[in-house]
């Protein structure tokens, strides 16, 4: 049975199927568990998937298992020859690039002339609603699991790095280790009571932006369109994602039909950007 996150990622990928003709050579950046790479492979594509060595374990990202072999690269230099690929695809990855211009140049380099790049990216509305949901989510965690507040684990783990702060909740550690969401767990990590409180209350960005307000601005369509055009891509189109959700997934049982309706009124959680070299 697919996890909720797998269902979401599958729903975001399915409308893009016509962009992945059978027999095309596809590179997935930020493959992680390889879940979407396995779908692309089932469509008859010749798929390669790469990610950085420090990527999280699939289970910690709410994937059921490792679905497809994912090779390791340095996060900067794509290990493929010039003009060697038909499609380069990424899902919720590109905003992590520390040097976006260089990454886009690398993507363009490995695409054949006329090749397509497809990037699924969080929307500005996702950032807005995820920020608003931060405190209700903390209250929910306090009420349902005292001393075990999932978002605090992210705050503790990202005290010196802003990445992944509002990603999906992590599984609990073993019973023999202090939980990082508990006062005991954070004390073991060297956090004072005051700092634990600040980490608990702070809404942290998902990517390398210095705060969520800067990140909200960086997730706007105008910014992404400008970056893709400046990198030399043409036919840049933003396709609305099919679903509404926040980074906290506070209502995991919400039907996907209702999520689709909410996406029309509250804004989609993602956009799929398509473009040609």
> How high is the pLDDT of residue 240?
98
pLDDT of residue 196: 65
Give whole-number Cα distances, 51 to 79, 109, 208, in Å. 11, 18, 17
Domain locations in the chain as residue ranges: 4-123+219-276, 126-201
Give the C-alpha distances (Å, rounded to integers) separating 117 from 108, 123, 243, 275: 8, 18, 22, 5
Range 208-217, long-range pairs (CB < 8 A, 24+ positions): 208/95, 208/96, 208/98, 208/162, 208/163, 209/162, 210/162, 212/127, 212/131, 215/127, 216/124, 216/127, 216/128, 216/131, 217/124
User: What share of the chain has pLDDT > 70, as a percent?
Assistant: 80
Backbone angles phi, psi at 71, to 5 degrees: -80, 160
Res. 169: pLDDT tops 60: no
Higher-scoring residue by pLDDT: 199, 160: 199
What is residue 190's predicted lDDT score, i.e. its pLDDT?
54
What digits encode the pLDDT tens for the residues 28-77? Answer: 999 999 999 999 999 999 999 999 999 988 988 889 999 999 999 999 99
Is residue 69 classed as helix, strand or coil in its secondary structure? coil
SS3 for 216? helix
pLDDT given at position 231: 98
Sign of CA dihedral 36, 230, 85, 76: negative
Spatial separation of the C-alpha atoms in residues 25 and 183, rounded to whole Å: 49
Residue range 132-154: mean pLDDT, rounded: 69
**So what's the pLDDT on residue 162?**
37
Judge contact between 121 and 270, C-beta under 8 A. Answer: yes
Dist. CA 221–CA 225, nearest whole Å: 6
Per-residue pLDDT band for 99 (boundaries 50, 70, 90) equals very high
pLDDT digits (tens, 9 = 90+) for 177-222: 333 444 444 454 455 666 766 767 788 888 888 889 999 999 999 9
Q: What pLDDT does 75 receive?
A: 94
Mean pLDDT along residues 151-161: 43
Q: What are the φ/ψ torsions at residue 188 (nearest 5 degrees)?
A: -65, -25
- CATH for 4-123+219-276? 3.40.50.150
pLDDT for res 177: 38
In which band, very low, low, confident or very high, does the pLDDT at 143 lie, cut at 50, 70 and 90? confident
Between 83-87, 157-161, 239-243, the lowest mean confidence (pLDDT) is in: 157-161
Strand order in the sheet with 25-29: 71-73, 46-52, 25-29, 85-91, 111-122, 270-276, 234-240
Give the per-residue pLDDT at 191.
57
Q: What average pLDDT does the structure give for the chain? A: 85
Tokens of 209: 């932006």
* C-alpha to C-alpha distance for 252 and 25, rounded to whole angstroms: 35
Instruction: Compute the half-sphere exposure of residue 91: CA atoms within 13 Å on the CB side of its CA.
Output: 24
168 in Cβ contact with 5 (< 8 Å): yes
pLDDT, position 170: 32
Confidence of residue 16 (pLDDT cuts 50, 70, 90): very high
Residue 159 has pLDDT above 80, yes or no: no
pLDDT at 20 over 80: yes
Torsion of CA 176, 177, 179, 185, to 10 degrees: 130
Q: Given a cut of 90, is residue 107 above it in pLDDT?
A: yes
* Residue 27 scores a pLDDT above 80: yes
């Amino acid at each position: 049975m697919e996890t909720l996150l797998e269902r979401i990622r599958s729903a975001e990928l399915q409308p893009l199927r016509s962009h992945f003709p059978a027999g095309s050579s596809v590179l997935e950046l930020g493959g992680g568990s390889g879940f979407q790479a396995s779908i692309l492979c089932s469509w008859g594509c010749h798929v390669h998937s790469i990610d950085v060595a420090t990527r999280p374990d699939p289970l910690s990202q709410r994937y059921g298992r490792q679905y497809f072999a994912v090779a390791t690269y340095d996060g900067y230099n794509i290990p493929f020859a010039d003009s060697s690929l038909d499609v380069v695809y990424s899902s919720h990855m590109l905003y992590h690039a520390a040097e976006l211009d260089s990454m886009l140049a690398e993507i363009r380099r490995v695409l054949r002339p006329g090749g397509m790049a497809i990037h699924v990216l969080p929307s500005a509305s996702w950032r807005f609603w995820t920020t608003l949901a931060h405190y209700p989510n903390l209250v929910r965690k306090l009420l349902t699991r005292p001393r075990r507040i999932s978002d605090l684990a992210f705050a503790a783990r990202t005290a010196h790095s802003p990445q992944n702060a509002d990603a999906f909740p992590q599984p609990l550690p073993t019973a023999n280790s202090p939980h990082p969401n508990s006062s005991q767990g954070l004390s073991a990590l060297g956090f004072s009571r005051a700092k634990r409180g600040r980490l608990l209350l702070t809404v942290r960005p998902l990517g390398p932006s210095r705060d969520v307000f800067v990140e909200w601005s960086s997730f706007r369509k105008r910014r992404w369109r400008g970056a893709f055009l400046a990198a030399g891509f043409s036919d840049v189109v933003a396709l609305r994602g099919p679903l509404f959700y926040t980074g906290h997934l506070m209502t995991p049982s919400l039907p996907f039909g209702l999520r689709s309706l909410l996406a029309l009124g509250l804004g989609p959680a993602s956009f799929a950007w398509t473009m040609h070299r």
